[in-house]
């Protein structure tokens, strides 16, 4: 079973700040997905990355897949309170990381 | 986008009773659905894969006789928690994989809103 490590585990920042969070594994991902989950709701798919070195943008969110396809990062520019939530990465075998709890203070 | 619904949103039941949770894909057909459990402040743990027209595949450590899964149609899977105990209290989430492309292969799954189960 592929282990997915996410870091940091918790992050609390002020509105307007930038942040980067990570998803790492010791083995290669065939594909990797990022989700955001709000309390009491199911996860919502943000992006799927497949190709090493791939960069995808979703408004203020930038997702990068490592060249070796063993890691991925999510960068949020000018964070807003609406970005608050649990950010999860998952592999194609439906294994999830433990998640990153992000809190953006107004 | 693809929509998955769950019913009920929350349920409270007494210890020893059984509870059924429904998962529906509303605007697409899903030959495969997945059931997860999530404890507070923890990640999702895959419990089982539900296959339309065949038996579900359970993850290691998940009791198939306790968590009964039925996937009778391409849009509906049900999870029944039998003889529920307080330790079964959790957030249960289903997801459905939308098959796409000529090869019928999709990397993406869509999640339902979850069902909060509390066993007293």
Q: Is the pLDDT of residue A73 over 90?
A: yes
Tokens read off for A74: 């999510």
The helix/strand/coil state of A100 is strand
Output the pLDDT for position B109. 81
Q: From CA A50, how far away is CA B87, in angstroms rounded?
A: 38
Check B109 against A45: CB less than 8 A apart: yes
pLDDT digits (tens, 9 = 90+) for A24-69: 998 898 889 999 999 889 999 999 999 999 999 999 999 999 999 9
Selected for mutation to probe chain A from B8, B44, B111 (highest A CB count within 10 Å) is: B44
For residue B105, what is the nearest residue in chain A, using CA coordinates? A92
Tokens read off for A12: 């609390």
Output the pLDDT for position B9. 96
Q: From CA A43, how far away is CA A2, in angstroms rounded?
A: 20
Closest CA to A12 of A84, A61, A78, A87: A84
Closest CA to B37 of B79, B77, B85, B91: B91
- Enumerate chain B positions whose Cβ falls within 8 A of a Cβ in A: 4, 6, 34, 41-46, 91, 93, 95, 107-114, 116
**Pairs across A and B, CB distance < 8 A:** 45
Q: Is the pLDDT of residue A14 over 80?
A: yes
pLDDT in 10s for each residue of chain B, 120 residues? 678 999 999 999 999 999 999 999 998 888 889 999 999 888 899 999 998 888 899 999 999 999 999 988 889 999 999 999 999 999 999 999 876 554 445 557 889 999 999 999
For residue A92, what is the nearest residue in chain B, using CA coordinates? B107
């Amino acid at each position: 079973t592929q282990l997915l490590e996410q870091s940091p585990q918790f992050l609390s920042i002020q509105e307007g700040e930038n942040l980067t969070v990570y998803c790492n594994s010791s083995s290669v991902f065939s594909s990797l997905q990022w989700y955001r989950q709000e309390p009491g709701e199911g996860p919502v798919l943000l992006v799927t990355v497949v190709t090493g070195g791939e960069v995808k943008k979703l408004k203020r969110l930038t997702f990068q897949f490592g060249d070796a396809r063993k890691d991925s990062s999510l960068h949020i520019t000018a964070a807003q309170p609406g970005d608050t939530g649990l950010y999860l990465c998952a592999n194609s075998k439906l294994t999830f990381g433990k998640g990153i709890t992000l809190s953006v203070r107004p | 986008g693809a929509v998955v619904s769950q019913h009920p949103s929350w349920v409270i039941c007494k210890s020893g009773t059984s509870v059924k949770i429904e998962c529906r894909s509303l605007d697409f057909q899903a030959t495969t659905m997945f059931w997860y459990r999530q404890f507070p402040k923890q990640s999702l743990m895959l419990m089982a894969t539900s296959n339309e027209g065949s038996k579900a595949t359970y993850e290691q450590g998940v009791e198939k006789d306790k968590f009964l899964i039925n996937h009778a149609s391409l849009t509906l899977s049900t999870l029944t928690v039998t003889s529920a105990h307080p330790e079964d209290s959790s957030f249960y989430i289903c997801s459905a994989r939308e098959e796409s492309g000529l090869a019928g292969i999709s990397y993406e799954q869509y999640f339902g809103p979850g069902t909060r189960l509390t066993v007293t």
